[in-house]
Structure 1
Amino acid sequence: MRLDGYESALLGRRAGVSPTLARTAVELYALGGLYGRVVDLPADKAVSRGVEIEGDKDRVVANELDRLRVLPTLADSLRWSRLTGGAAIVVVANDGGTLRAPLETSRLDTIEELKVFDLDDVSPTEQRYSDPTKANFGMPEVYQVRTQASGTVNAEFYVHETRLIPVPGDPLPRRIAAIKGVPWAGRSAITRAYQTISDYSQSLRWALGILERKQQAIYGMKGLAELIQAQLEDIVQKRIALVDSARNILNTVAIDSEDDYRIEDTNVVGVRDIVNEFQIGLSAETGIPVTLLFGRSPAGQNATGDADFATFHDLVEGLQRNKASPALERLVALILAQKSVRKKLEQWAIVWPPLESPSEKEQADVRKTNADAAAAEANALNTLAGAGMISEEEGKDYLIAEGKYGLDKDAGDARAAAQYAAQA
């Protein structure tokens, strides 16, 4: 196919531009980069500092958590929950029953393994609870779980809901969640974020195009129109190619005396600001600060980034409290129900360590502040006692009640009780 004369002469042959194929969220996540970072950062941060089981002095539960790789499992479940709107942890347990049968905790010998599946792999069956007097009325009793691509032999299995620990996605209106048929189905956290990432990537491509055209060479060739009319486009292309091959910072460009050759410099002011705005937009969509997403230093005068990290920590603590903790509580309860665990815990609680440890200087500042406050309080009590407004005994009782200076509060309570008994 012969193009227009000017197009053939000045542009030459051009390769066809293939349209960009639409990709699913899972396919985009598999590409990595920002697509993976906005999903992985909060999930990995949520479990990065581990978890403590209060009351587990002998590490009975902690050892089981390590054996079952619970923290990596929780990280993956939070990851797929953010990506697809939900995830499920399937408990492979040795209780004498099949996966399709209810889990019998009274016969639970050992939890063998934990498997994580995203919401796209899990679908409810027609088998549902039918007792209208129970809270689970109408809820799916058995779920179908896909382990491989559809159409593969033995790629599916059925699991009872008591062997499945859900990790929901972001909240959805009940009416919309009911469409999916899974009671704990939620909203994906990255739908709009992925669109913003695509816009950001497009802005980078456009910025690169602007840089490529920042210095545009213009070659005014004498007799160009006549050469094209004579269908001598090859000669035109050859002359342009010769000029382009000779053009660089060290060479001299030789042209006909009646030709014209000049460089037009394009202004790129404002491009950086536009790209930065796309970065801020992505941060707003994900709740992850720009400093973490792009590895940038905090901007602005006296900027420390504390506010940015506080927002991110709120996001991570929400994942821990609302999604990871309910799943972990169920897992700990099942761990303690195992016959292989001889020592049971009467009371226990899940405690997430702080997401950020204070530096030595910050710890020293806190100790100094507390010491100054204690000194001011002691001086105030001394002044009140000296003025006769309180007695030394009353001041001591106050310090005992506050547990200051190592004074035993229980001893104070016992002495007060003894005084009351004597008076009575």
Structure 2
Amino acid sequence: MSKKRTSRQTRAATKQNMHSRAPVMTMDAFSNPAARIGFGTLDLLQATEYPMTRMTQNYQLLTSLYRENWIIQNIISTIPNDMMRKWYDLRTSVAPEYLKQMTQLERRTQIRKKLLLGMYWGRLYGGAVGVILIKGHNDMSQPLSLDTIMPGSFLGLHILDRWNGVYPEGELVTDPEDPDFGLPMFYTVRNDETGTMVARVHHGRVIRFIGRELPWMEQVTEQYWGESEVEAIYEELTRRDNVAGDIAALTFRANINYQETDGLDQLLGSANAEIQRRFWNTLAAQSVMESNFGTRMINKGDAIHNTQYTFTGLPDVYDRVMMDVAGAARTPVTKLFGRSPAGMNSTGESDLKNYYDYIDGLRETELRGIIERLLPIMALSAWGRIPDDMDIDFPPMQTPDAKDVAEITERKSNAVLAAYQNDLIDAATAMQELKSLSDETGLYSKITDEAIEAGKGKFYSESRSMQDPMAGFSFPGSTGEADVGDGNEDPAAGEG
């Protein structure tokens, strides 16, 4: 009993000592106070701070930058324009006249322009919505049911940015199977002038557009919106504007004349106003004469000097600042500024290829979800039904020229032909492989399904043997095999 009490007292004392000890802060960092390098020293680098600004919430600044700065306008519009430049390809077995009806619906509702505007304001302000408008759906707080969409009822999208009267409510989507899981359940649309509620919209009737993604806590701080693109490039933009302004100011000082005048300090400091006025009049007269005749008259003993600035190195500085802005905007210099820097900073095909790969990725991760959400609604409005095989593809952003297409066609066609001639595939498979190249090369699209069906099981060696009139026959001494007769030969023939 005493041993148990002792062990309990020991554990209690140990626990009390653990709670009474002061917490010890540990840190892994480099520091050299003697050299003033590293953590905690009087180093200029250690004075660097990154305060939380949340510029996305500054509506006036973002709007002013967009209206006044052409670079901001290009940053906001370039990527969405490239994402929408090549529209999606609708893959379905419906007749061509139905595809024409879908195209007419897209034009009538201006769906491409509405999506562009949603991307614009989502990138500028960090958030925007496109409210799906359906004729006859007056209560927008109810979930959108596809069964209630009648032919000709889709009216397009109504685009609102986050500062234009649309406010997410606090209730969140709790269904993990819902694409909007973890996002607001409802959005309130208010009149900016009166503040009255215009509509309460269910999340199923809303297409969201945001800027850059944020961590969860920052997303909550931003009322479930994203970050403005301007916030990420603001520092680089201010550096570029200051460098450009300084370069422009230097042009006024590129050619300066200055005159040495004896007793100038006394003239400006102690002389009376009349003497100073005469001095300024003399300088003004000399300036006029220089402008008219290119000469200047001075007193004997005075001297005039000329200083010229060569601007050496400034283009390299400006190009580097320009490339920093382009890097922050995730857009090549050739797209953002409309020109390529000279020298080693020039951008070429590799930059555009990487950029177009990035755009292809954005279309898959961002635009595809929006299109697939709208497409069933548009199909019901245009056709009255949703085809089972309806799907979309995005054509690649960068398409090869005629020479590249010819080379690709030759190489891939030869590869298919080689496999067929070596009896690795039959004629049907070879024709299927060639037909699959039609989207990429524009050739072989006329291969019919009947021809493919007729080529099943037919190999190259069999077709060649059918073309040989002596196929299947062999002669003595030609292959080393015995001659096959009709069975009536004289067994003694050929003896002796």
Alignment of 1:115-264 (within 5 A): 115-121=158-164, 122-126=166-170, 128=171, 139-146=183-190, 150-152=192-194, 157-182=199-224, 185-228=225-268, 229-232=270-273, 233-248=276-291, 250-264=293-307
Deviation at residue 275 of structure 1 after TM alignment: 0.5
Which amino acid in the other structure matches residue 223 of structure 2? G
Q: Deviations over 1:35-94 (max 9, x none)?
A: 101111111111112222111542143332222211111112222222222321101212
Opposite residue 120 of structure 1, the aligned amino acid is W
| Between 346-355 and 402-411, the greater mean CA deviation after superposition | 402-411
- The CA deviation at 1:146 is 4.8
1:49 aligns with 2:86: yes
| Unaligned stretches of 5+ residues in structure 2 | 1-58, 435-446, 460-496
Does the 8 A contact of 1:46 with 1:75 survive in 2? no
**1:72 counterpart residue number:** 113
- In structure 1, list runs of 5 or more residues that go unmatched: 1-21, 382-394, 417-424
Query: What one-letter code is carried by the residue in structure 1 that aligns with 2:88?
Result: V
Q: Secondary structure at the match of 2:157?
A: strand
Task: After superposition, give the CA deviation of every residue in 1:363-416 in whole Å (9 maximum; x if it has no partner).
Answer: 22323333554566678x3xxxxxxxxxxxxx1645654446779665666789
Q: Kindly state the Cα deviation for residue 331 of structure 1 after the two structures are TM-superposed.
A: 0.7
Distance 1:409 1:299, change over 3 A: farther
State the 1:155 CA deviation: 8.2
Counterpart for residue 379 of structure 2? 336
8 Å Cα contact 1:95-1:107 kept in structure 2: no
| Alpha-carbon distance in 2 for matches of 1:114, 1:328 | 12
Distance 1:304 1:271 in 2: 19
Query: Alignment identity in percent?
Result: 20
Alpha-carbon deviation of 1:281?
Answer: 0.6
Q: Aligned partners of 1:223, 1:23: CA distance in 2, in Å?
A: 54
Which of 389, 392, 400 in structure 2 is aligned with 1:350?
392
Residue of structure 1 in register with 2:486 after alignment:
none
Residue 389 of structure 2 aligns with an amino acid whose one-letter code is Q
- Greater Cα radius of gyration, structure 1 or 2: 2
Q: Which moved more, 1:129-138 or 1:111-120?
A: 129-138
Counterpart of 1:196 in 2: which secondary structure?
helix
1:26 is the counterpart of 2:63: yes
Q: Which residue of structure 2 aligns with residue 4 of structure 1?
A: none
Structure-1-length-normalised TM-score: 0.77
User: What SS is found at the alignment partner of 1:236?
Assistant: helix
Q: Decide whether aligned partners of structure 1 residues 133 and 293 sit closer, same or farther in structure 2, where only a CA change above 3 A counts.
A: closer
Counterparts of 1:290-329 in structure 2 under 5 Å?
290-297=333-340, 299=342, 305-329=348-372
Structure 2 counterpart of 1:43, one-letter code: P
Aligned to 2:26: none
Q: 1:225, 1:74 → 2: CA distance?
A: 68
On the 8 A contact 1:243/1:253 being kept in 2, the answer is: yes
Give the secondary structure class of the aligned counterpart of 1:212.
Answer: helix
Moved more, 367-376 or 357-366: 367-376
Offset, 1:138: 7.2
In structure 2, the CA distance between the partners of 1:163 and 1:294, relative to structure 1 (3 Å rule), is same
Cα displacement (A) at 1:198? 2.6
What does residue 278 of structure 1 align with?
321
1:90 maps to which residue?
131
Distance 1:41 1:132 in 2: 36
Higher RCO, 1 vs 2 (CA within 8 Å, ≥6 residues apart): 1
**Count of matched residue pairs:** 374
Look up the match of 1:100: 141
CA distances 1:219-248 after superposition (whole Å, capped 9, x unpaired): 222332222212434333333322333334
Question: How far apart are the structure 2 equivalents of 1:311 and 1:155?
Answer: 46
1:137–1:41 distance in 2 versus 1, CA, 3 Å: closer
SS in structure 1 opposite 2:365?
helix
SS of the residue corresponding to residue 190 of structure 1 reads: helix
The corresponding residue for 1:19 is none
Distance 1:374 1:102 in 2: 52
Amino acid in structure 2 at the alignment position of 1:219: Q
* Inter-partner Cα distance in structure 2 for 1:204 and 1:171: 31
Within 1, Cα distance between the matches of 2:226 and 2:246? 35
Distance across 2 between alignment mates of 1:373 and 1:279: 46
Q: Root-mean-square deviation (CA), in Å? A: 3.3
Inter-partner Cα distance in structure 1 for 2:339 and 2:62: 26
Distance 1:318 1:222 in 2: 72
CA contact (8 A) 1:84 1:118 kept: yes
For residue 180 of structure 1, report the CA deviation from its aligned partner: 2.3
SS where residue 74 of structure 1 aligns? Answer: helix
Give the TM-score normalised by the residue count of structure 2: 0.67
* Kept after mapping to 1: 8 A contact 2:240/2:322: yes
